[in-house]
Amino acid sequence: MNDQAKAPSDCQTMIDVRAGVDATDRALVDLLETRFGYMRAAARIKTEQSAVRDEDRKAAVIDAVRQRAAKAGIPADALAEIWDSLVETSIAYEMTEWKRLRR
């Protein structure tokens, strides 16, 4: 499988579909690697441990995803749940990094 997957509308077989899904999954992991890099940056920049968790920011991020998903016609509530988990995982990761950097 390569990263030159066909567009969904160009897929003619399940092999095409699966190649596209696999390429998309690889790209998503790459994007998540970047996102967690930003969590490391936040851990480095924030001076107070209490600043790691920001419920207002969490709500805004999840709401933005819900709205974007709804506009795209994909399952908005399900993506909001996925993002809730992603943000909680990101907060936990940032907290671990914040503590590691201050040992």
Q: Which residues does the annotation place in the binding site?
A: 18, 35, 46, 94
SS (H, E, C) the chain: CCCCCCCHHHCCCHHHHHHHHHHHHHHHHHHHHHHHHHHHHHHHHCCCHHHCCCHHHHHHHHHHHHHHHHHHCCCHHHHHHHHHHHHHHHHHHHHHHHHHHCC
Annotated binding site for substrate: 18, 35, 46, 94
